[in-house]
Amino acid sequence: MDGKKTLYSAIQPTNNLTIGNYAGAISNWLKLQNDYDCYFAIANMHAITVRQNPAELRQKTLSMLALYIACGIDPDKCCLYIQSHVPAHAELCWVLNTFTYVGEMERMTQFKDKSARHAENVNMGLMDYPVLMAADILLYQAEYVPVGEDQRQHLEIARDIAQRFNNIYSPTFTVPEGLFLKVGAKINDLQEPVKKMSKSAENPNGSVFLSDDRDTVIRKFKRAVTDSGSEIKYDPENKPGVSNLLTIYSVFADKTIPEAEAEFAGKGYGDFKLAVGEVVSDRLAPVKSEQAKILADREYLNTVLKNGAERAAHTAGRTLSKVYKKIGFYQI
Ligand code: ATP
Ligand code: LTN
pLDDT in tens, 242-255: 999 999 999 999 99
Q: Distance between CA 224 and CA 190 in Å, rounded?
A: 5
Q: How far is the CA of 222 from the centre of ligand 2 (A)?
A: 32
- Establish whether residue 89 lines the binding site of ligand 2, counting it when its CB lies within 6 angstroms of any ligand atom: no
In tens digits, the chain (332 residues) has pLDDT values of: 568 999 999 999 987 889 999 888 898 899 899 999 999 999 999 999 999 999 999 999 999 999 999 999 999 999 999 999 999 999 999 999 999 999 999 999 999 999 998 999 999 999 999 999 999 999 999 999 998 888 999 999 999 999 999 999 999 999 999 998 877 778 999 999 999 998 878 888 999 999 899 999 999 999 999 998 899 999 999 999 999 999 999 999 999 999 999 999 999 999 999 999 999 999 999 999 999 999 999 999 999 999 999 999 999 999 999 999 999 999 98
Q: What are phi and psi of 237, to 5 degrees?
A: -70, -50
Alpha carbon 114 to its chain centroid, in Å, reads: 17
Query: Mapping DSSP to helix (H, G, I), strand (E, B) and coil, where does residue 256 land?
Result: coil
Q: What are phi and psi of 104, to 5 degrees?
A: -65, -40
- Establish whether residue 21 lines the binding site of ligand 1, counting it when its CB lies within 6 angstroms of any ligand atom: yes
- Establish whether residue 14 lines the binding site of ligand 1, counting it when its CB lies within 6 angstroms of any ligand atom: yes
Question: In this predicted model, what pLDDT tens digit does every residue of 34-56 receive, in sequence order?
Answer: 999 999 999 999 999 999 999 99
10 Å CB burial of residue 20 (0-12, 13-18, 19+) is buried
Task: Specify the domain boundaries for CATH 1.10.240.10 within the chain.
Answer: 204-292
Task: Specify the domain boundaries for CATH 3.40.50.620 within the chain.
Answer: 6-184+298-327
Q: How far is the CA of 123 from the centre of ligand 1 (A)?
A: 21
Quick check: is 114 catalytic? yes
Question: In this predicted model, what pLDDT tens digit does every residue of 247-276 receive, in sequence order?
Answer: 999 999 999 999 999 999 999 999 999 999
Q: Which CATH superfamily is 6-184+298-327 part of?
A: HUPs (3.40.50.620)
Query: Mapping DSSP to helix (H, G, I), strand (E, B) and coil, where does residue 38 land?
Result: strand
Per DSSP (E only), the strands in 218-323 are none
Q: What is the CATH number of domain 204-292?
A: 1.10.240.10
Catalytic residue among 60, 114, 239, 273: 114
10 membership: H or E segment, kind and range:
strand 6-11
- Establish whether residue 206 lines the binding site of ligand 1, counting it when its CB lies within 6 angstroms of any ligand atom: no
